[in-house]
Amino acid sequence: MIIVREWNDIAVLAPSSDIDIATVPALREQVDDLIARGVRRIIINCQGVGFIDSTGLAFLLSRARRLMQVEGLLSLVNVSAAVGRFLQIAQLIDVLHVSAADKPPVPMLSPNEVPLWSKSIPILAGIEHLAQYRHRVVELISALPLSSDAVFDMALAAGEALGNAYDHAGGTGCMMSVRAYRDRVVIEVSDSGAGFEIADDETPEATEERGRGIKLMRMLVDSAEVKRRKDAQGTIVRLVKLI
């Protein structure tokens, strides 16, 4: 539930969950309605927000720009340290070219390398489930020798991959696997959509609220591959974070 309080031309919104591809449509409708009714100062209380994905970021940036054009202001309060760090980093994608090619190549795994553990997670249809899978990733990899920032980054990148799977296939026929090795954690998200592939040195076309997801994945992890599935129709996203 989103609570709205208004004083003259000021409004406070308090999302009760993450700001992501699942929740942005309702939040967008409320913010746009407030702007249309003359509200010029919108404060978003992020006390209940654990993650903001690329859709949420794009929405916040676009509405902040819209308010600036009418001498208004959008601001976030009670932002956690992890979300605050992400917002600082992620805004660079609007001014910098970020791709996996800018990073040292990730060493290939030996064909005989066996994961320390692995977990396969079927994805339920319905984008409202997205947040629970993002938080499930945190639960699974928090025991690994990763910093809290690295855990957050990997969970957020996995959320971006899942968001794309929901967007392109509605979550139907989707699967997420998490595998831990001695030197890395690997997350793969597969869907049964039309299939999409992008080269490591290719930059996706961006619009006001779309096109940031792949850039963010590349920024957050050591390797992010987006390929067409070879076993069936659809896309597979492979994310690697070195330990």
Instruction: Report domain extents, the chain.
Output: 3-94, 100-242
CB-side exposure of 98: number of CA atoms within 13 Å? 22
State whether CATH 2.40.50.140 applies to domain 100-242: no
Distance CA 139, CA 151 (A): 9
- The answer to whether 60 and 183 have CB atoms below 8 angstroms apart is no
Within this chain, domains 3-94 and 100-242 share the same CATH topology: no
State residue 100's pLDDT score. Answer: 43
Query: Token digits for 241?
Result: 């974070």
Question: Which class would CATH give 3-94?
Answer: alpha beta
Q: Can you read off the two tokens belonging to residue 160?
A: 């971006």
Per-residue pLDDT tens for 158-207?
Answer: 999 999 899 888 777 899 999 999 999 999 999 998 888 998 778 777 66
200 vs 147: CA distance, rounded Å: 26
Question: Whole-model pTM?
Answer: 0.80
Token digits for 1?
Answer: 């539930």
**Strands 73-77, 41-45: parallel, antiparallel or unpaired by DSSP?**
parallel
- Edge-to-edge order in the sheet of strand 3-7: 3-7, 10-14, 41-45, 73-77
Distance from C-alpha of 227 to C-alpha of 222, rounded to nearest angstrom? 17
Residue 189, pLDDT score: 97
